[in-house]
């Protein structure tokens, strides 16, 4: 099973880490890779990563009561975004000029235009996945055999991009994910390029940011950054390099940009087992590397310890929270693995943009990001 689905506590980590190098040993070996896009399972053990079971609400936001009770009340546009287009299926027969002119404000039209290619491609949707519950029983309808998707690429042949430069981006990337908590993935087909996923996620996020903040607010406005950002860190033999697919930030009063969250896009789920998408070790390691790169690079971030990644695959979205404590940072800098320090990973279940209840969950988490940024500034 994948690291993401199994290594949840120190005792499990202690059992499975045997035979793997410490961070110090790995960095000094020829197997160390500076590019986060080339990281894998051994990097997860070396960085002492623990992954909590995914939940409907990200604990960081839930514990601080940042998730809105009814995100639809924020704005009429937000309400319309959650409500969705008149017909998801009808999107396959419409193109951007029609949708932008039909749905007002036109930000809605851009979201539905970005979703349309996935509808035309026949991309599947999550079945039996009510958003009110974070954990469900494993569906009885699933097969005992792995379900291989169209255009499946074996994990040892995939570049799990910490997003290479735009002009050199791979045509396919592994996606991942989730857990019986989101339900059964049915008929997922996605012959689209990764950029289609990034466009859909960015249009959706941008719509929430643009209409989820009051025009007369005194706090800085969060906005979506389209440009891919590079993060690099070097300390002796320790080198980390990562590239995201965009992100959320704001401009401080002194003119500096402050990082809030990054977007990581994948073309589709590369592998599904028993109807459940898998978060591969390579993908998880890549996101861990990205969080560490942001933490150590010369980046002004909302928090020194908490880092958010919005993971998008096809028309699905999942939120990740990487907690890097002060003690962990100290031991990391010295390449010393303290047996009591771990890098903690929290995440949500998968949310399907085709599903109106899931759209509400995505809106709620982006709204919580806005509140979190204001709280920590």
C-alpha separations of 33 from 13, 242, 317, 337 in Å: 22, 11, 28, 19
Q: Which pLDDT score, from 0 to 100, does residue 56 have?
A: 97
Q: Which pLDDT score, from 0 to 100, does residue 340 have?
A: 83
First to last CA, the chain: 40
What is the C-alpha separation between 241 and 231, in angstroms, rounded?
6
Residues forming a β-bridge with 235: 238
Residues forming a β-bridge with 265: 312
Are the beta carbons of 207 and 111 closer than 8 angstroms? yes
C-alpha separations of 179 from 110, 219, 277, 347, 348 in Å: 30, 37, 7, 11, 10
Q: Which pLDDT score, from 0 to 100, does residue 237 have?
A: 83
Whether omega before 247 lies within 30 degrees of 0, making that bond cis, reads no
Q: Which of 222, 247, 225 is nearest to 311 (CA)?
A: 247
The beta-carbon contacts of 191-194 under 8 Å, at least 24 apart in sequence, are 191/121, 191/150, 191/151, 192/117, 192/118, 192/121, 192/267, 192/268, 192/314, 193/267, 194/161, 194/169, 194/170, 194/265, 194/266, 194/267
pTM summary value = 0.84
- CA 60 to chain centroid: 15
DSSP state, residue 54: P
Q: Which pLDDT score, from 0 to 100, does residue 279 have?
A: 87
| Block mean pLDDT (10 aa), the chain, length 377 | 95 95 91 94 96 97 95 92 96 96 96 95 56 39 39 35 41 36 52 84 98 90 96 88 96 92 88 75 96 91 96 94 93 75 96 95 97 84
Q: Which pLDDT score, from 0 to 100, does residue 122 have?
A: 78
Q: Which pLDDT score, from 0 to 100, does residue 189 have?
A: 52
95-119 core/surface letters (b: 16 or more CB in 10 A; e: else): eeeebbeebeeebbbbbbbbbbbbb
Q: Which pLDDT score, from 0 to 100, does residue 79 have?
A: 96
Are the beta carbons of 207 and 201 closer than 8 angstroms? no
Per residue in 110-166, pLDDT tens?
Answer: 999 999 999 998 755 555 444 433 333 344 444 444 333 333 333 333 333 344 443
Q: Which pLDDT score, from 0 to 100, does residue 125 have?
A: 56
Question: In sequence order, what DSSP letters do the residues of 73-127 get, joined into one string?
Answer: GG-HHHHHHHH--S-TGGGGG--HHHHHHHSSSHHHHHHHHHHHHHHHTT--EEE
Q: Which sequence spans correspond to the domains of the chain?
A: 3-375
**322, two tokens:** 């990487």
């Amino acid at each position: 099973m994948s690291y993401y689905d199994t290594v949840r506590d120190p005792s499990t980590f202690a059992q499975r880490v045997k035979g793997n190098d410490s961070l110090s040993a790995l960095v000094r070996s020829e197997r160390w890779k500076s590019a986060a896009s080339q990281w894998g399972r051994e990097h997860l053990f070396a960085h002492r990563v623990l992954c909590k079971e995914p939940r409907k609400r990200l604990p960081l936001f839930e514990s601080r009561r940042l998730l809105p009770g009814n995100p639809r009340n924020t704005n009429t546009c937000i309400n319309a975004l959650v409500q969705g287009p008149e017909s998801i299926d009808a999107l396959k027969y419409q193109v951007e000029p029609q949708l932008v002119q039909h749905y007002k404000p036109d930000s809605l039209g851009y979201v539905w235009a970005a979703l349309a290619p996935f509808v035309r491609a026949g991309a599947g949707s999550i079945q039996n996945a009510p958003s009110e519950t974070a954990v469900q029983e494993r569906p009885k309808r699933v097969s005992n055999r792995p379900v291989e998707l169209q255009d499946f690429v074996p994990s040892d042949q995939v570049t799990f991009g910490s997003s290479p430069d735009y002009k050199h981006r791979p045509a396919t990337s592994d996606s991942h994910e989730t857990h019986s908590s989101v339900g059964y993935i049915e008929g997922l087909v996605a012959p689209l390029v990764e950029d289609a996923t990034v466009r859909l996620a960015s249009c959706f996020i941008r719509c929430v940011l643009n209409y989820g903040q009051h025009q007369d607010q005194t706090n800085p406005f969060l906005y979506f950054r389209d440009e891919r950002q590079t993060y690099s860190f070097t300390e002796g033999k320790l080198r980390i390099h990562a590239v995201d697919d965009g992100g959320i930030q704001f401009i401080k009063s002194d003119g500096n940009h402050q990082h809030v969250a990054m977007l990581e896009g994948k073309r589709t789920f590369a592998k599904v087992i028993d109807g459940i998408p898998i978060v591969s070790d390579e993908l998880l390691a890549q996101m861990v590397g990205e969080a560490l790169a942001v933490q150590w690079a010369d980046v002004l971030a909302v928090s020194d310890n908490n880092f958010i990644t919005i993971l998008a695959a096809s028309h699905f979205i999942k939120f990740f929270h990487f907690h890097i404590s002060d003690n962990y940072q100290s031991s990391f800098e010295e390449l010393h693995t303290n047996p009591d320090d771990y890098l903690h990973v929290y995440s949500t279940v998968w949310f399907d943009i085709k599903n109106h209840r899931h759209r509400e969950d995505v809106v709620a988490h982006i709204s919580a990001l806005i509140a979190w940024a204001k709280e920590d500034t």
